[in-house]
Amino acid sequence: MLKVKFKFPQAIFTTLFTHAKKTAPEEGCGILAGKDFMITEFFPLENTAHSEQFYEMKAEEQFQIIKKIRAKGLKMIGIFHSHPVSLARPSATDIKLAFYPDVLYFILSLQNPNKPVLKAFWIKDGEVEEEGIEIINEAKASKSSVKLGRNFTKR
């Protein structure tokens, strides 16, 4: 089992899934940002390659988004793209074109459209290493705090 390091709110996961479904059969892509090990925002970008096998993002658009992320006091954590029909594993092209050793590469597989699989990888000098991620349910967390409040009033 991988040790979980990065947390992913369910809402962001849903956004990624929706984006990937919308762009399919082409690969969808974008940038993920957050603070420390918590991912808080997804910025979709156009796959300028409009390909079913790989993705390309305009440098100018990436730059604009990174500026926005910094202005919010957040950090770029990862680059996202979808694999409409293949596994959540970096392709040979993904490895060859991974220019950022310090950001995570998130891949969402729609191979089974009813059970999307999201995985994250570090890609450095052609070497791939999977990183642990966990999807957390925010709705559940806020529900339990409501319950706590009720107990408090009873006392």
In whole angstroms, the minimum distance from the beta carbon of 116 to Zn ion comes to 15
| Count, residues near Zn ion per rule CB under 5 A | 2
Shorter beta-carbon distance to Zn ion: residue 26 or 94: 94
| Number of C-beta neighbours around residue 78 at 10 A | 22
Classify the C-alpha dihedral 11-76-81-107 as positive or negative: negative
Residues 55, 106: Cα–Cα separation, whole Å: 13
Q: Pattern of binders to Zn ion over 70-109, x per CB under 5 A?
A: ---------------------x--x---------------
Residue type present at position 17 = F
Closest CB to Zn ion among residues 51, 144:
51
Question: What SS3 class is residue 34?
Answer: strand
- Pairing of the two strands 127-136 and 117-124: antiparallel
40 binds Zn ion (CB under 5 A): no
Q: Cβ 9 to Zn ion, closest distance in Å?
A: 23
User: What are the residues binding Zn ion (CB under 5 A)?
Assistant: 91, 94
